[in-house]
Amino acid sequence: MARSAVVADGELRGEIGQGLCIFVGVGKDDGDWDVEWLAGKILGLRVFSDGDGKMNLNVSQVGGSLLIVSQFTLYGDCRKGMRPSYDAAMPTDRARGLYDAFTERCALAGLPVVSGVFQADMAVTIENDGPVTLLLDSKKAF
């Protein structure tokens, strides 16, 4: 990703240049293992181009940053009816702790990390390079 920014309540909360914009949805069955697996997977993903133009470098190797945004709507189930069901999303009081744990775990890698505001109405701007957009689900890890 070339750059990304998040605005909440009309205020710029964070912006980054090259790096990863990460939308985090927390499911009702998620826990500490999911936080660790996802953080490790994301930090190690080789999705940035090397000198030969191959996707062979991770975010740390390119000196990138992370923009982390909570996004419960990732759990929207649209299979039935015309309105998404969010039954699979974790209740906000518990989800906030896992979202914060994920953000803190990513920061331990020593990369610049900025985040949106949990449970806020946010505007996110993304300038994808490629574009490359990936979906990671810890429940489908194995």
Looking at the annotation, which residues are catalytic? 71-73
Give CA angle at 24 (17, 84), nearest 5°.
125
Q: Are 57 and 104 in contact (CB under 8 A)?
A: no
Q: In angstroms, rounded to a whole number, what is the distance separating the alpha carbons of residues 69 and 116?
A: 5
Query: What distance in Å separates the CA atoms of residue 60 and residue 42, rounded to the nearest whole number?
Result: 11
